[in-house]
Amino acid sequence: MTAPAYSADEMMTVAAARRLRDGAVCFVGIGLPSAACNLARLTHAPDLVLIYESGTVGTRPTVLPLSIGDGELASTATSVIPLPEIFAHYLQRGRVDVGFLGAAQLDRLGRLNSTAIGPYAKPSVRLPGSGGAPEIGAAAREVFVVMKQSARTFVERLDFVTTRARPAAVITDLGVLEPDPHSRELRVCATFAGVTVDQMRAECGWPLQAAATVQRITPPTDHELEVLRALGARTAAAHGRPVRISLPT
């Protein structure tokens, strides 16, 4: 079998981007969520409104930010407002259509851990923490999670419950999971080319079920790959340059 002309990460990013409609207001996380949202903005959703937790609204970055404090977000934003107002006047008032999140662990009900691996008091890994994820998971009209799938990340029991997200979809590097309408347990609803349901089950820490009909996700188009790779190249070049800080003499 000929290997696909794209990586699993590229397929995952494209699949996540396709779920965003033009004109939606999207609260964006750093990393894969940011890549997916900006790919959507640069392809089929040019009027997508991106909000980052630092207070940037309507930002249109030319490169992917390193963090929510990246100057690229503020310099390309329509407005920059205080962080408390982002949560009080945008998120909690129902003005955010989509929350895009990532995490270190996820369980069968879509709850997320971004706090610690191992016992909270003495973890083997201390993670960045919740940030705005709990509020986004609770108040956004719809939540999508983007993360790589393995038995270490898709776990039977979280080491710490950071966010009770109840996502509408979880997009992984193998396929897409959506909640069962009755039990709300995540189940396989679509796979990428060359991936089977059994492979997704092998990379999951609980007995993963599948929908009655599992769809095959359409591979990335040449245009989607071209835009995504150009974004990645610009990002690598921008972040590879040394930062010059001028100090008063």
DSSP structure class, residue 153:
T
Q: Which of 29, 24, 209, 32 is nearest to 128 (CA)?
A: 29
Q: Note if 72 is an active site residue.
A: no
Tell me which of 10, 53, 135, 224 is the catalytic residue: 53
Which residues are paired to 142 by β-bridges? 98
Q: Which of helix, strand or coil describes residue 97?
A: coil
Two tokens at 2? Answer: 């000929």
Give the gyration radius of the chain's Cα atoms.
18
Q: Which of helix, strand or coil describes residue 109?
A: coil
Q: Which of helix, strand or coil describes residue 144?
A: strand
**Which residues have a catalytic role annotated?**
53
